[in-house]
Chain A
Amino acid sequence: MRGVRKLAWVEVKLFIREPLALVFAFAFPFFMLFILAGVFGNDIDSTDPESVEVWRGVGPSDYYVSTYVGLVMASAGLITLPLRLAGYREAGVLRRYRAAGVSVPVVLGAQVLVCIGMAVVAATGIVVTSTLLYGTVLPANWALVLLAMGAGLLTFASIGVFLGAVLPTARAVQGAGLALFFVMMMISGSGPPRDVLTDSMRLVSDMMPLTHLNLLLQDAWLGFGWAMDQALITLAFAVGAALLAVRFFRWE
């Protein structure tokens, strides 16, 4: 335990010394916030049933704010975490840690802790920005939103460890991780609303963990309750990715 804490603290310091390499991932949710708030604003024509349907009865910016929180978690899990792990493996840092007797759970635990911390800070930043600049709503049900966030962090931490385990190099992460991230950013609810996607897009979208996490977050945020199906699917992704990560983790 002393090892994890120390390693996590070291990782935090390393992060503070060289933040740009890792925070660039968190810029995307902010871009989406600024662009989509500029395009759609936060008003809908409430006499147009189609529009009401697409935006789930709320203003577009209110619709989106929770999905950016999901997107932040995806950034951490699809880019930041695997980039770090693969980079360490490639450089021989993991090898060195292993020889010193650092166990897999300690290495991964420290990385996950730091990434979760960064994601929480970035998510807070997104919500504060959106609230102050665009006057979007705060969570209707804080408890459910926090619960959904916990599920999201768990899921994307597992996915991040899995990607970091199977993608051999930082370059591979920059390819595969970023590709996955952009697909999710566009069709998992943080981009065009689900209702306007084509059928085939929606099919792909349904296979993405972020789609379900975003629905879970959005329902909780807007006061539509707890989306149990989405919660279970999200957790299934978490468990699946964690098992695969343990199975495929390599030190070198």
Chain B
Amino acid sequence: MTGQHPAQIPGERAVAVRELAKVYGPLRAVDGVSFDVRRGEIFGIVGVNGSGKTTTVECLQGLRDRDNGEVHVLGLDPATQRDALRHRIGSQLQESALPDRLRVWEALDLFAAISPRSRDWRRLADEWGLWEKRRAAFADLSGGQRQRLFVALALVNDPEIVFLDEMTTGLDPSARHAAWDLVRAVRQRGTTVVLVTHFMDEAEELCDRIAVFKAGRIVALDTPSALVRRFADHSTVRFTHEGDDLPWLDGCPGASAVEREGTRFTVAGDGPLLAYVASALVAHGIAPLDLRVERPTLEQAFLRISEVEATTR
């Protein structure tokens, strides 16, 4: 019933998308998107609202019909082989609901019964913090509890790929972090994860690779660290020092600006800035206790990607 999925060839493609397109009337919601998702990876799809993320993943799940392009999920075409695919994938939809008076355990039990293979829903309920709420009706759940229920429902058929669309929307910070751990555990079991999110910290934290969507197209696709390197390669080194100005800091390789505010120093620049600043400080007999570097986040890279795109268009 439960257990790891059959041995998976690393690197094999779980999803292959070529020139996927979907129009709504005059709107090109998805406009020629191509990407692969490898088996066993956590693949992120990020982008501002309306950039076509949901449309894309719902085409992949056979919930919307595409207008153009080729899609293969687990080797199947979701448009024509929906039924064969259905029970092998898990879906947490951005928008959906359950009957108001349906109880948590009944939903899990029902969805487990529908699927030919399933996980023990009691364990899932426990993992996702729903055990205490198992007798509660859907209508009486908080936003975060509903969200967790939908994720648990997406996993109850022990899918080979799970699609999570805005999974942590409505969760409080501690529940979000708990959800991240659980998603990692899901991948550990061998399940491929396609994660749609507009939280950059979440994408950076979880994803092996990220596709950045903008206006129905992919404008960047890489690992989080590569995206950050490419689009936001600057660092900020901070420390406190009581005493004179330190004019020689300007000479550190990569440093582009040194600022001082009272006792607080900031060195901005790129490359391995922290190493150079640290060695210069030590060479001058200064060893601040709070020397630290702030690396750019995916969030900053994301903003930069949006700008670059805007100016090149």
Contact surface of A with B, Cβ cutoff 8 Å = 2-3, 6-7, 10, 13-14, 17-18, 88, 91-93, 95-96, 98-103, 106
Contacts and interface: CB of A to CB of B under 8 A. Distances in A.
Interface of B: 61, 63, 83, 86-87, 91, 93, 95-102, 106, 109-111, 113-115, 137, 150, 153, 157
Contact of A3 (B63, B97, B114, B153): B114
A113 to B, nearest CB: 15
Contact of A2 (B99, B106, B113, B137): B113
A100 B111 contact: yes
22 contacts: A2-B113, A6-B114, A7-B110, A10-B106, A14-B101, A14-B102, A17-B101, A17-B137, A91-B97, A92-B93, A93-B98, A93-B99, A95-B63, A95-B93, A98-B63, A99-B93, A100-B91, A100-B157, A101-B83, A101-B114, A101-B115, A102-B114
A88 B99 contact: yes
Contacts of A3: 113-114
Contacts, number: 62
A22 B56 CA distance: 38
Given A10-B106, A95-B96, A100 B101 contact: no
Contact of A101 (B86, B95, B106, B137): B86
Nearest to B106: A10
B39 to A, nearest CB: 21
Nearest to A99: B91
A93 to B, nearest CB: 5
A14 B99 contact: yes
A90 B110 CA distance: 21
Contacts of B63: 95, 98-99
A95 B153 CA distance: 13
A102 B95 CA distance: 17
Quick one: which of A6, A100, A106 has the most chain B CB within 10 A? A100
B110 A92 contact: no
B102 A96 contact: no
A99 B61 contact: yes
A10 B112 CA distance: 13
